[in-house]
Structure 1
Amino acid sequence: MREPVIAYIGLGANLGDPRTAVLCAIDAIADLDGLALTAQSSLYGSAPVDAGGADYVNAVVQVTTRLKPHALLAQLQGIENAAGRSRPFRNAPRTLDLDVLLYAQLVLNDADLVLPHPRMWQRAFVLQPLAELAPDLVSAEQLQAVAEQSVWVL
């Protein structure tokens, strides 16, 4: 049997009722077979980055999982699809966005999944909740680099 690993998942939404969407997604992640939800950040609000639309509700969760990275991604995409996620264009407003941010120390770059998540280090709405859960994974310099982005605890 596969040894469990720690992974971090970013959540965000800005269409419909984004707070409820994120909270329901956290519950759905906790219900997935092959993983255990071990921690969740506070909810954060953020202005869109490189996009238009309403403010986002964001969070990060920590899971321990036996799922392989692509299987985890497929499960998360199922949750997104159930929430009505569509992808009309890059950075479009969304009912729900779930991203595998980190999967142990794995570095992966293929057509379906890039780990660590390629833009996470440029996003305060990812780094602040991640730092809340795992302060050893986010440096003061990384937080300072995104300090101009508007993010607040809800």
Structure 2
Amino acid sequence: MAEVALGLGSNLGDREAHLAGAVQALESREGIRVTARSSLWETPPWGVEEQPHFLNACVLLETSLSPMEVLETCLAIEREHGRERSLRWGPRTLDIDVLYYDDVVLTGEVLTLPHPRMLMRTFVLAPLAEIAPEKVIAGATIRKKLALVEPEPGMRKLGPLGKVAE
């Protein structure tokens, strides 16, 4: 079984319901077990700034799926939640990013591992540090990488995303 971290985000509609629904959808897929969930974090938009604030969270999975199968599952769940890809960094009902897959390093047209921008983004590192603080990416732990990134103005920690299914 591989350990996988996913980043979740939503800024349209019922943001919390979209994130919780994504976790439920992941839990219902064969070959995937959700093992940890971060808190919810509210974050000002990044990239295109004229849009609603995001809710972000991270989850850890154990999976027997390949990296590409994990990505395909995430894209299918995004579509199930009405995700339309029309504007890069624009508003979305649901965004699911594969942050890392074990210690796999992969550079491809469709999937790059670890996620190429995860170490620059507090809205990824803060929730990930809650659930995988000692995971080493690019030579340092997530906890140490978080300490090197400027805090996002206006970013705030909210309540839990929910409980891990037993």
Class of the TM-score when normalised by the shorter of the 2 chains: over 0.9
1:96-143 per-residue CA deviation (whole Å, 9 max, x = no partner) reads 000100100000010110100011111111100100001113133533
Q: Please show how residues 1-154 of structure 1 align to structure 2 within 5 Å.
A: 4-52=1-49, 53-137=51-135, 138-154=142-158
Root mean square deviation, CA, Å:
1.2
**Partners of 2:16 and 2:55 within 8 A in 1:** yes
2-structure distance, mates of 1:10, 1:86:
18
Q: Which amino acid aligns with 2:75?
A: Q
Q: Which runs of no fewer than 5 residues in structure 1 stay unpaired?
A: none
TM-score (structure 1 length as normaliser): 0.93
2-structure distance, mates of 1:7, 1:141:
18
**Partners of 1:124 and 1:149 within 8 A in 2:** no
Distance 1:112 1:18, change over 3 A: same
Q: Which runs of no fewer than 5 residues in structure 2 stay unpaired?
A: 136-141, 159-166
Identical counterparts, % of pairs:
39
Q: Secondary structure at the match of 1:12?
A: strand
